[in-house]
Structure 1
Amino acid sequence: MNFAIISLGSNIEPEKNIRKSKAILSAEFRVLRETVPVKTKPMEFKQQPDFINMAILVETRKTLQELNKKLKETEKLLGRIKTENKAGPRTIDLDAVVWNLELKDRHVLEWPFLKASVKELLPELLNKTGKQAPNWAKQI
């Protein structure tokens, strides 16, 4: 069995798109825990609406590649259009940020809302400095 933390973010009809993406993912994966959605300011491209962000911890038999494929399919289903501005507005953004206790996204350590989500879902993964704990595998 594999475990992943999936980040969810939206700033185009965010409540609706977060709710729909959670429903789709819940039908596909066993959701173990989820964070409370939080309103956040855009991190890179500032001239756009605020985001709603959250994360879920899931259990799956899928591989990381299969999980990522499902996330991209879900984004497309909910109207995500990829543009040259990778930090621009989006209906939904879904990313596997942790896979089997391994950080998969550098933003986990850089973006406060993402770090807080990972700490909430798997507090033993990050040490007090916010960096990946060297002995995290033994702690779980």
Structure 2
Amino acid sequence: MLPTTLPSEQAAALHECLISLGSNIDPEHYFDQALTILSQECKLLACSKAIRTTPVGYQQQPDFLNAALLVSTSLEQEAFRAYLKEVEDRLGRVRGAIKSGPRTMDLDMVAWNGEVVDEGYYQHDYVKVPVDEVLASSGRTLEPVKRS
């Protein structure tokens, strides 16, 4: 017997993205704002606790709050990466001469559909610790960075 309904060809595939968050300018406020925006515009699947970390690189700035989120989105990877930068801009992010300087919000894509896309996951505890917490709470695992 044929099905009475067919899956919509227009239905967008959902992708999962692990995001690293960091802020050291009024971080509690900007974390709340980022969570509000991302949970309204994406599907929030899991969230780590925030951890306080010392700056990496430029040291003459306040400590950071860092966390990780797992979200699902219908956007493709590069469109979602651009979306994260747009959310940073909405949250008042100013990109100055010092790349590792103070910021209201930094949103970095760590993994896409279970595959690590940012080697910072392996290099920095401020990324790895919150991401590992999200992985443990969501039952997800990661595949290593694929080298070309």
TM-score range, shorter chain: 0.7 to 0.9
Whether 2:83 is the aligned partner of 1:93: answer: no
Is the aligned partner of 1:132 residue 2:148? no
Q: Which of 72, 83, 100 matches 2:85? A: 72
Letter in 1 for 2:32: R
How far apart in 2 are the matches of 1:82 and 1:113?
20
Aligned position for 2:76: 63
SS at match of 2:86: helix
Gaps of 5+ in 1: 135-140
Aligned to 1:13: 26
Secondary structure of 1:122's counterpart equals: helix
Choose from 9, 16, 22 the match for 1:3. 16
Query: Per-residue deviation at 1:74?
Result: 0.9
Task: Spell out, residue by residue over 1:78-133, the C-alpha distance to the aligned partner (whole angstroms, 9 max, x if none).
Answer: 1111112110000110111111111111110011121112212224636xxxx939
2:38 matched residue in structure 1: 25
For 2:130 and 2:141, locate their aligned partners in 1 and report how far apart those are by CA, in whole Å: 11
The runs of at least 4 aligned residues of structure 1 exceeding 4 Å deviation read: none
Contact in 2 for aligned 1:125/1:133 (Cα 8 Å) = no
Q: Report the Cα distance in structure 2 between the residues aligned to 1:11 and 1:113, rounded to whole angstroms.
A: 13
Contact 2:53-2:65 within 8 A present in 1 as well: yes
RMSD: 1.9
Is the contact between residue 58 and residue 101 of structure 2 (CA under 8 Å) also seen in structure 1? yes
- Secondary structure in structure 2 of the residue aligned to 1:17: helix
1:9-37 superposed Cα distances (whole Å, 9 cap, x missing partner) = 10000000111011001111101100001
Report the AA paired with residue 69 of structure 1: A
**Alignment match, 1:121:** 134
Q: TM-score, normalised by structure 2?
A: 0.82
- Unaligned segments of structure 2, at least 5 residues: 1-13
Evaluate the alpha carbon distance shift between residue 96 and residue 59 of structure 1 in structure 2; reply closer, same or farther with a 3 A threshold.
same
Count of residue pairs the alignment pairs up: 130
Distance 1:105 1:37 in 2: 20
Report the AA paired with residue 141 of structure 2.
L
